Amino acid sequence: MKKSLGAVAVAAAVALSLSACSGSSSEESAKGEISYWLWDANQLPAYQQCADDFTKANPDITVKIIQRGWDDYWSTLTNGFVGGTAPDVFTNHLGRYGELAENKQLLAIDDAVEEDKIDLSAYNEGLADLWVGQDGKRYGLPKDWDTIGLFYNKAMLASAGITEDQMKDLTWNPEDGGTYEDIIARLTVDKNGKRGDEPGFDKNNVDVYGLGLNGGGDSSGQTEWSYLTNTTGWSHTDKNPWGTKYNYDDPKFQASMEWFAGLANKGYMPKLETTVGASMADTFAAGKSAINAHGSWMIGQYTGYKGVEVGIAPTPVGPKGERASMFNGLADSIWAGTEKKDAAIKWVEYLASADCQDVVASKAVVFPALKASSEKAAAAFQAKGVDVTAFTEHVKNKTTFLYPITDNTAKVKGIMEPAMDAVVSGKAPASSLTQANEQVNALFK
């Protein structure tokens, strides 16, 4: 699926030659070293190859890639904006870019996209539109997309007498948890070998939890609970993107969160305080959880663990008769303060091109934004023996909903993270989220 290096260089030179007319006419703006940041270490090798190929096609430009972990990434980036040391180009997130655009930290690239004839229709449906801000300006080109699925331990399933077909046909509701809770209970095992659905099960001494826990979920619940709450007819905001009212006070949401928090109380899911500083995926690999709800960007990590045979099931069908998954798409954006504007634009266009996204696809780590590259990624996963239909079916069947895109995202998270942690840890009832919701919505008045 990879083109030869020579073909990549020739194609890139042709595709990118037009971008010399984009942005500043300064010769210095179009050459030299540019910095590029990303947070996912699993994707670093693919993007390093893209950078090497790009420099071969553009000898006057080199790309220095820096990878930082998620939390460190955003705190360092924020400090960089304030101190004038931010990278020229960086991986951007739907949950962050609205605020960055509002604060004038991003460079609009509309002129370059038009002049360089970037085909926005080549990306998976809706991805290109996500990066147009409230002011109508474009602040990024799509790089990839993700959905949510259920990673499960095949050996644990077999030991519990559960078939993989059962895993693929789960149902859920906030009243009794449906077959999803039944299977979570069955897969939970205490220190004495008693399962969660057997008499004598000791919920205070659990050896294997039926469902792993990634955290309280703060304002989005992307991997923790949104794939459940959004099957009830509930949505995070009054509209998306650019909603101005959050709905954490909705009884449907609060009922869902009471159920979710109840799993830990029943002993079927770890208590929140035990997960602090731990990697949910590594805990799964150590045999301490049987099912983990996680994103498609984690496929490589889960299927790469030695001695653990992993399956991937779709999310459960909810009360409205459909599955649901948050649909998130990343993009590459340019810092408004860059002194390498033209070079940065060239790099962003290359990152969004088939020459780079096909390289990313070949590594079988994530699903690139381009439709054709996305299909190549699915084939690359298949070649490794990994069935990824649990993730791709959401897009095919249109059972996705957007990551909430609003202003004030950092402040919303600041309010909701402790509020959700209090509920998931059992320290506060779900009804307490009404007060938190009032605080959140006051930000938009």
What is the per-residue pLDDT across 302-331, written as a single tens digit (0 to 9) for each? Answer: 999 999 999 999 999 999 999 999 999 999
pLDDT (0 to 100) of residue 350 = 98
Q: How confident is the model at residue 30 (pLDDT cuts 50, 70, 90)?
A: confident
pLDDT (0 to 100) of residue 401 = 96
* Cis bond upstream, residue 45 (ω within 30): no
Q: How confident is the model at residue 28 (pLDDT cuts 50, 70, 90)?
A: confident
On whether the CB atoms of residues 424 and 275 are closer than 8 A, the answer is: no
Q: Annotate 83-118 with b (16+ C-beta within 10 A) or e (fewer).
A: eeebbbbbbbbbbbbbbbbeeebbbbbeebbeebeb
Distance of CA 85 to CAs 16, 34, 336, Å?
27, 12, 12
The domains of the chain are located at 32-146+328-397, 148-327+403-443
On whether the CB atoms of residues 228 and 173 are closer than 8 A, the answer is: no
- 148-327+403-443 topology per CATH: D-Maltodextrin-Binding Protein; domain 2 (3.40.190)
Tell me if the domain spanning 32-146+328-397 has CATH number 3.40.190.10.
Answer: yes
Residue 229, pLDDT above cutoff 90: yes
Q: Same CATH topology for 32-146+328-397 and 148-327+403-443?
A: yes
On whether the CB atoms of residues 213 and 279 are closer than 8 A, the answer is: no
Residue 20, pLDDT above cutoff 70: no
* Tokens 């474009």, located at residue: 138
Instruction: State mean pLDDT over 298-302.
Output: 95
pTM beyond cutoff 0.75:
yes
pLDDT (0 to 100) of residue 29 = 83
pLDDT tens per residue across span 328-352: 999 999 999 999 999 999 999 999 9
Q: How many angstroms separate the CA atoms of 445 and 310, rounded?
A: 47
pLDDT (0 to 100) of residue 26 = 59
Residue 291 pairs with which residues in a beta bridge? 152, 211
Residue 120, pLDDT above cutoff 90: yes
pLDDT tens per residue across span 407-440: 999 999 999 999 999 999 999 999 999 999 999 9
pLDDT (0 to 100) of residue 19 = 40
Q: How many angstroms separate the CA atoms of 200 and 8, rounded?
A: 63
Write down the mean pLDDT value for the chain: 93
273 alpha-carbon distance from chain centroid? 23
